[in-house]
Amino acid sequence: MPTPLSTPANVAASSSDAFLSIRNIRKRFGAFTALDHVSLEVGKGEMVCLLGPSGCGKTTLLRTIAGLEKQDDGSIHAHGRDISHLPPQSRDYGILFQSYALFPNLTVAQNVAYGLNARRMTRAQMQQRVTDMLAMIGLAGSEKKYPGQLSGGQQQRVALARALAPSPSLLLLDEPLSALDAQVREHLQLEIRRLQKEFNITTLMVTHDQEEAMVMSDRIAIMHHGRIEQFDTPDRIYRHPATPFVADFVGQANWLPFQRVSERQVSVGPLMLSVEQEKQKVDSGRLFCRPEAVDVLPAVDAANRFSARVVDQIYLGNRYRMMLELDELPGRRLMADVSNDVRAQLPDVSAQRMWIALPQHSLHLFA
């Protein structure tokens, strides 16, 4: 049999070439189910974010992979071996939490070297490794400092260097940036992403910040009530949410109740809307449309073109959010996000009517 080629980074892994394979994990705390048959396949070198509301099970999943919680059911495989029942120290990962968790009484160098003690390394090799790691995180020359002499962002870099120093095959991050201010956080997001790619280290990161997940991930797993609702690329999560929960949780959403009229048409109250043909026909439910998909400068012959009144406008810096009321749907608000350029092309819209269109390709139907 020919040797299989290794999976390139950023390529979605199938079950056969996954580096980390989580199969049907169930975890209960008493009567409460924290993880409800979770399965996830992560490719070698892939960066995956676990994103979801508070209490959905993100930390529990990470801790289970780390061996800090014991699953009730299911198994975890890394590098082709079953690690489900191994103690944490035998699982070969680096881990980083929200709190920096550096040893305050150890120097930066001693902190970074901490994980190396278990490796068979000479003193000189260890020193070299520490120097290299500090250079890589932009803290060269800080060996002798103590954590208390560093800023929060610097401490978290040291904690990252400590996690990476033993060259683990897996990196587990639990909201590592959430204690930092916005600017430092954005900088470190890119930094972690760069290091993660450079090391080609398979990484699972927990966050509840959707922008962070979008910026950093190859793929995102959206979690809700102990389940994975969708596991997909950031672009597909945003543009093709698989469930109403995902559509609502990521980005902003307009929802309208609809009834099917024909294969390509649905009604929303008195409105008739053309929709794209679907794989699975939904007869009634809720129709979803992103605010930026609303066309406020529609062509005369545009499909789904309606007259609307501008009820309110909010300036958001890089765009306007217009609150619209369609003439035929009184009392129901529709959000439209409009770039400053497009906004400048509109007439004075306050208290006036304008045409808008809901492009077919941007309408998603959920039962």
Ligand X SMILES: Nc1ncnc2c1ncn2[C@@H]1O[C@H](COP(=O)(O)OP(=O)(O)OP(=O)(O)O)[C@@H](O)[C@H]1O
- Chain contacts with ligand X (rule: CB under 6 A): 29, 32, 34, 52, 54-60, 208
- Tokens 């009321």 label which residue? 325
- State how far the Cα of 131 lies from the Cα of 35, in Å rounded to an integer: 40
Do residues 192 and 216 lie in contact, with contact meaning Cβ atoms separated by under 8 Å? yes
Name which of 53 and 138 has its Cβ closer to ligand X: 53
Name which of 59 and 254 has its Cβ closer to Mg ion: 59
**How many alpha carbons fall within 13 Å on the CB side of residue 139?**
28
Q: Residues 7, 21, 59, 210: which binds Mg ion (CB under 5 A)? A: 59
Name which of 28 and 321 has its Cβ closer to ligand X: 28
CB of 58 to ligand X, least distance (A): 4
- State how far the Cα of 26 lies from the Cα of 37, in Å rounded to an integer: 5
Asked whether position 189 contacts Mg ion by CB under 5 A, the answer is no
CA distances (Å), origin 213, targets 57, 173, 209? 16, 12, 6
CB of 57 to ligand X, least distance (A): 4
Q: Quick one: what does residue 29 bind among ligand X, Mg ion, none, with the CB cut-off 5 to 8 Å set by partner type?
A: ligand X
Q: Quick one: what does residue 348 bind among Mg ion, ligand X, none, with the CB cut-off 5 to 8 Å set by partner type?
A: none
Q: Quick one: what does residue 208 bind among Mg ion, ligand X, none, with the CB cut-off 5 to 8 Å set by partner type?
A: ligand X
Do residues 226 and 34 lie in contact, with contact meaning Cβ atoms separated by under 8 Å? yes
Amino acid at 290: R
Q: What does the DSSP 8-state code read for residue 329?
A: S
Q: Quick one: what does residue 185 bind among ligand X, Mg ion, none, with the CB cut-off 5 to 8 Å set by partner type?
A: none
Between CA 159 and CA 164, with CA 163 as vertex, the angle to 5 degrees is 120
Contact flags string 30-49 toward Mg ion, x per CB under 5 A:
--------------------
Name which of 30 and 331 has its Cβ closer to ligand X: 30
Residues of this chain that bind Mg ion (CB under 5 A): 59
